[in-house]
Amino acid sequence: MPAQMPGYTPAYIGRFAPSPSGPLHFGSLIAAVGSYLQAKSQHGRWLVRMEDIDTPRMVQGCDSDILRTLEQFGLEWDDAVLYQSQRQARYREVFNQLQQQQLIYACQCSRKQITAMGGIYDNRCASQHLAADNLAWRLRSHNVSAQFNDALFGAQHITPKLAQEDYIIKRRDGLFAYQLVVVVDDIDQGVTEVIRGADLLEMTPRQQALCSLLGAPQPRYGHLPLAVLQPGFKLSKQNHAAAISQWPAAEVMYKVLCFLGHPPPAELKQAPVAEQLNLAISQWQLAKVPLQMEICSTEFR
C-alpha cells in the first residue's frame, strides 16, 4: 500500500465500498476500477471501505478475499480499510443527534403493509409517537429535492415520492441501516466524489439531503453503467455472479477497461494490470464511459 507524503491532503478523495457478503465479481470490479481511475486521474486518494453493517449477511473471510482480489488487479488503496462494524458508537452518536432534533420517529409497518401502499412508505407513523424496542426508525425527509446532476448521466429527476419517502435509518433488529451509515462514513472520510454503480442512482437525493442535514458538504455523485446478465438483471452476488479471483488478471482488466470505454491497444491485452491501469489513468475521462448497460459474456456469469 503506497505511503502518503507527510501533510499531503489532496483535494480529491474517492472510495470503493464493497459488501463482504460474497467474493468480488466482474460487476463489482467495474465499480472498483471506475472509482480508482477517477481518483488517480485527479491525483487524489482512493479509499476502501467494508460495508459490513448488515452482519447477518456477511460471510467470514470475504473481506480478506476482496482485498486480495483488489491487489491482484493492481488496485492499491490509500489509508487503512474502514469497517462499518467497528463504528457502532459513531452511528449511535448521529442517531441520538437526529432523535434529539426530533428528525426521526419509530415505525411499526411491515414489508407487507408497505407493499400494499404501492411499495413506497406513506409516512403513516410519523405522528403516532410510537415507543417500543422492536420498531424501525425513519428519518423525516421533508424538502428533499428529487433532482440532481450526475457526473455521468447529467440532470436526473427522481420520482418525488421515492426521493421524499421517510426511509429507515435503524432497523427492527437494532442494526443501523445502509442509508444512514454510508452518509456518515462519506462525511467522516472526507469523500469528495462517489463513483458507483447505477443501481444506486435513485438513492442519491436522500443521501445528499442527509449530508446537508448533518451540516456537511455533499460529495459529487457519478454512476457507472451496470453489467447485466440480461435486461433487468444486473450481475450481482444475489444472482450468483462468478468470483473473479481465479481468472487471468490481465485479460479481465482488459475487458473491464473496454466496458468502461477505455480499451487499451490490442497489443496490451495480455500486459500486466499495472501497465494497463497506468495507461488508463493517463487517458481517463468520465465523458468516454458508455452510459448504456451491457450484457456480460458467459465467462463472467
Which tens digits make up the pLDDT trace of 227-269?
A: 865 444 444 444 445 678 788 899 999 999 999 999 999 888 8
pLDDT for the residue 293: 57
Domains of the chain: 13-87+180-300 (3.40.50.620), 88-147+160-179 (3.40.50.620)
Confidence class for position 36, pLDDT limits 50, 70, 90: very high
Q: Which residues of 33-59 are buried (b: 16+ CB within 10 A; e: fewer)?
A: bbbbbbbbbbebbbbbbbbbbbeeebe
The sign of the torsion formed by the CA atoms of 187, 192, 216, 224 equals negative
pLDDT tens digits, 156-171:
999 999 999 999 999 9
Q: How far is CA 240 from CA 29, 119, 229, in A?
A: 15, 26, 11
Which of 90, 71, 223, 218 is CA-nearest to residue 152? Answer: 223
